[in-house]
């Protein structure tokens, strides 16, 4: 299974001025494509922090997705940070420059030209579904922080990720987690290639715990769920979804 890391860049997230929603969207879409997110990091608009984190994630995971820090203002330093982290120059991409020239004509200011900058060696992913191309550098996909733009760009490249899908089933149990835990631990030991999660639910009269079972193997997934639903708690199971 391929792995991914997500880096959210922006002081506005760390300060609480803006609610972060991009990482959740990326993680859900990647999981549907069989790519497992292993780490999410939130860092400030700092060139050194961006340099360190992007290089670290690039070495550790198959794919890296950054969000934020692209644009014409002083705090848009994602490109500079990535370039520093990999020891390359920041250059103006000809294709992106052409887009800016068509859009602004002789009003392409130094600030606007900044939006055409890329780490040297970057690839520009052009798709008719998106207004402005996506920048890819090595195994990094560099997204804007505005959720609408990020969603459109990610959906436009989903075909690049075609791993076996991660299958999911949810089991709703009307029992407290501590009662379920001993048996659930046994199910976990018996099914090493099934990822099992347990999530207590408050203020719900129908069920008290949601158990999730995930695997790329349908047989393994069904076996783990069956072991749970045929257990001593079978009369406490409300339903199974998936």
Q: What is the pTM of this model?
A: 0.90
Q: Tell me: the pLDDT tens digits for 108-124?
A: 999 999 999 999 999 99
Report pLDDT digits (tens) over 58-70: 999 999 999 999 9
Q: Domains in the chain, please, with CATH?
A: 2-160 (3.40.980.10), 167-241 (3.30.70.1030)
User: CB–CB of 230/158 below 8 Å?
Assistant: no
**For residue 63, what are its two tokens?**
């794919």
Whole-number pLDDT of residue 242 = 87
pLDDT, tens digit (0-9, with 9 covering 90-100), for 184-210? 999 999 999 999 999 999 989 899 999
* Token couple for 123: 């690839």
Q: To the nearest whole percent, how much of the chain has pLDDT over 70? A: 100
Question: Distance between CA 89 and CA 36 in Å, rounded?
Answer: 31
Rounded CA-CA distance 96/122 in Å is 12
CB 80 within 8 A of CB 47: yes
The mean pLDDT value for 130-136 works out to 93
In this prediction, residues 141-155 reach a mean pLDDT of 96
CA–CA dist 40, 36 (Å, integer): 11
Which is it for the CA torsion 92, 89, 124, 156, positive or negative? negative
User: Could you tell me which of 125, 124, 115, 145 has the C-alpha nearest to residue 42?
Assistant: 145
In tens, the pLDDT along 35-56 reads 999 999 999 999 999 999 999 9
List all residues 6 or more positions away from 15 whose beta carbon is below 8 Å from its beta carbon.
none
Q: What is the pLDDT of residue 233?
A: 84
Cα(197)–Cα(168) distance, integer angstroms: 11
Report which of 134, 136, 133 is spatially closest to residue 123, judged by C-alpha positions.
Answer: 136
Is the Cβ–Cβ distance between 166 and 196 less than 8 Å? no
Kindly report, residue by residue over 207-235, the tens digit of the pLDDT: 999 999 999 999 999 999 999 999 888 89
Q: Which DSSP symbol is given to 133?
A: P
Whether residue 163 has pLDDT greater than 90: no
């Amino acid at each position: 299974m391929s792995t991914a890391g997500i880096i959210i860049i922006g002081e506005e997230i760390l300060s609480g001025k803006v609610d972060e929603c991009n990482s959740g969207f990326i993680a859900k879409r990647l999981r549907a494509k069989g790519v497992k997110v292993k780490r999410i990091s939130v860092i400030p608009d700092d060139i050194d922090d961006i340099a360190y984190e992007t290089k670290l994630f690039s070495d550790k995971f198959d794919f890296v997705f950054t969000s934020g820090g692209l644009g014409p203002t002083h705090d848009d330093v994602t490109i500079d940070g990535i370039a520093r982290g990999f020891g390359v120059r920041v250059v103006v991409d000809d294709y992106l420059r052409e887009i800016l020239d068509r859009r602004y004509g002789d009003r392409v200011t130094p600030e606007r030209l900044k939006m055409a900058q890329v780490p040297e060696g970057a690839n520009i992913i052009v798709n008719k579904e998106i207004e402005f191309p996506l920048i890819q550098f090595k195994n990094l996909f560099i997204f804007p922080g505005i959720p609408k733009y990020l969603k459109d760009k990610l959906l436009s490249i989903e075909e690049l990720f075609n791993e076996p899908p991660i299958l999911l089933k949810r089991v709703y149990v009307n029992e407290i987690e501590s009662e379920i835990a001993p048996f659930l631990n046994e199910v976990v030991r018996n099914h090493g290639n099934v990822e099992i999660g347990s999530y207590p639910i408050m203020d719900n009269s129908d069920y008290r715990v949601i158990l999730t079972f995930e695997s790329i193997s349908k047989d393994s997934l069904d076996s783990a769920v069956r072991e749970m639903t045929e257990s001593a708690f079978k009369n406490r199971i409300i339903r199974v979804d998936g």
